[in-house]
Structure 1
Amino acid sequence: MVEPTKESEPNKEMESKGSSFTRTFGNMGFFRPPSVPYQEKPRMVTDEDLGVFREQEGASLLALRSLQDLDLSACSKLTDSSITQVLRYPDLQRLSLSMLPEISDDSLASVAYHCHSLTSLELSHCPHISDQGIARAAPYLARLQHLYLSCCNALTDRSLSMLVQHCKRLRTLDISMCKHISLTTVELLQSQLPFIENVHCRFVAGADLTLLL
């Protein structure tokens, strides 16, 4: 904001003569109102777009070289294309991808491979994450200490076996409401992981949630 000057002040003589246009005329067809960015229809980001982003300075995840903590929870329009091509941070330690219904095993495998310093990973409410994704990712998650997989109903006991085999430093595991995981396998995991402290396994094995309503 600047102080008004004589040059910028309205001409009082002109105000008293004739008609004048105001911003309200834009809604009557005289002028086309400016477009609002968030009203534009989203489009898929292409490889060419990503190349341009890499060359530009500014507010882009691609410009962050030493990122350690990233929370993308509930960014529901993110897809495998976004995750696999952008999330490549070797120093990243904490990542949340919870409530991203469009991502799949490809995203999980890519994150594990490119972000091998992860100590905490949240994937709760990601319905397309399956045993195959855990199998592809686990060998690269040796430093992982906290893993959240609640409501990932495509997971089975096989995923827990992969975690026991590769994620020896795991301290916290949340598999609540994963209906295809058995309590027997949960107990086996607890007995074989030396640092495990908290295993959240409420309503696993297809427990009926309506019993508490």
Structure 2
Amino acid sequence: MREHYRSEAFTEAELAAEPMGQFDHWFREVATGGLHEPNAMILSTATPDGRPSSRTVLLKKYDPQGFVFFTNYASRKGQEIASNPYVSLLFPWHQVARQVIVTGTAVRIGRDETAAYFRTRPHGSQLGAWASAQSSVIASREELLARYDELATRYPHTERVPVPPDWGGYRVVPGTVEFWQGHANRLHDRLRYVAEDGAWRVERLCP
């Protein structure tokens, strides 16, 4: 199967001075262009001996310091990050022939920042964070639903759900950020920011 990519050039002259500004520009374009879940990103982690794992998570915030997502710290991704903080992110915006690839270090955000985000989640999602011991083995779906129902009884909509102690956010602090634009004949544009001595260097990669 072959895909005919768009042919508008993507050049160094168009780039923002730093990668988060360029990401903001592209993200706003895809978010307003009708792309389904533009904040979905593939997070790849690895064990200390280099065994990788990947999954899709949702970007919940980005700022000049990096990209923020939330999870159970005891999950597989959380355990791997605890022993090896080097991760990668991939935003696969295939419908517009664009990708953003990030490599960097995942660091926990503060509990105040986590709590502030947790309060914005729907009530059911707050209960779900307690009900699921993410990545652990469970006997059946019925057991999971029973946990949820018990929590729903304990914390009805009128009750404030506390933040689970093992649940929180990570900020991926980028070391490289690549912006990939597809073109015809596989002559894609690949422009990568590289952190170097407190500044950003831009380089072009062969497709």
The structure with more radius of gyration: 1
Higher strand share: 2
Higher helix share: 1
Same fold (TM over 0.5): no
Higher relative contact order (CA closer than 8 Å, sequence separation 6+): 2
